[in-house]
A and B are shown apart, each in its own frame.
Chain A
Amino acid sequence: MAHKSVEDVLQGILGHTADGIDGLHFAVFRPNVPGAPANKPVFNEPALQTVLQLYGWESRTVEEQVEVWGQCTDAVRRSFQELADAAQNEKAKRRLRRLVMDVEVGGLLYAAVEDYGWVFAATLSQQSMNTGRAEWQLVEMVRELLRFLGPGSNSPPRGPRR
């Protein structure tokens, strides 16, 4: 079935059921078009609910977890684009293509979607970081977003590419 929106693309990879507790739990796409509205974050609510209970974090709601990940999104982008530029030390602007942060519980991941924008994703599952499943899903998100946003797609009109 054809995707209707960026959120639909991401949700298709995150899944909708608690069967997906070992994968990514949260994702958001941010377009590079200046002034474009930010897309809504998507998350796998049943999986997140299950994981929060498994970890004994009953005092934290799914909505609260999603909210803090949303707050991290821009901080990560700002911090690491500067570092990627410094790393190359070139006159030509070099891009950070992918960033994987394996933290004590799960991970936070970032990937550029060519010139269209970037996706930020997160998981509370350490197993999905150890097995590479989270990274694999991130790559799938980029691939599917390119298919959706790229030339010849039926995606809604968007602003000019940067």
Chain B
Amino acid sequence: MKTAPRQIVAFGGGGFSMESGNPLLDDYVLGLCQAERPRVCFLPSASGDADHYIVRFYRAFSAHRCEASHISLFRREQGPSDLRRHLLSQDLIYVGGGSVLSLLGVWHAHGIDAILREAWESGVILCGLSAGSLCWFAEAVTGFHGAPQQLEGLGLLPFSNCVHYEPGSERREAYHRFLREGMVPGYAAEDGAALHFIGEELSQVVSSRPKARGFRLDVSGHRVVEMQIATTFLGEKGVAPEAPFPEALSTAVAPG
């Protein structure tokens, strides 16, 4: 049994799914693992276990830096048969983007939701982008299925969350409205920013892009108070990271 603290790294968007050529966020989560060759399991459920996405995961998390695996809940006859044992033996569980509603439905059907809570409590680091970020929170805003809608996540973190929180986006506007209507206060992250929680406390915001930001959102009376959180850029100071390749922007996984 691990005695490590409970950790979740929730990307607003980014990592190999959206920023090929910029591994800063992926390097960051790998770096949090204690093991020399961490065991990393990818859960692509939100994409319907899309083959091209799984291939890209293995390319990003190559064998020389970690022991990578994935679980396809659409093809259970392949892969580990004891999901619980496999997931609890990981150092890092990385959840991909796509449809958060489908993700939660499929997880529940396979009992993954309970296993992930157990993994988190035993010190396995949980991370992900988009749908793979929203899922950890009590409440969240998804824009994947058309007009932004609110949903209930796994509730490991007792806050709300909004990803791809770009200025002027429909999602941002909707999040503020949901907060005014009683959604629990929470956090938002732009593409390239990641919220790192230790236990239920936000430890820091890191970013793969110099200008990506994270926010805390509260409600005071009927007003939404948005507070920018100081963000640590993970790249070299003064060196802008390479622009993502265009192919990376056209994948099925964004926006979550």
- Decide whether A and B are members of one complex: no
Question: A residues near B, CB below 8 A?
Answer: none
Question: B residues near A, CB below 8 A?
Answer: none
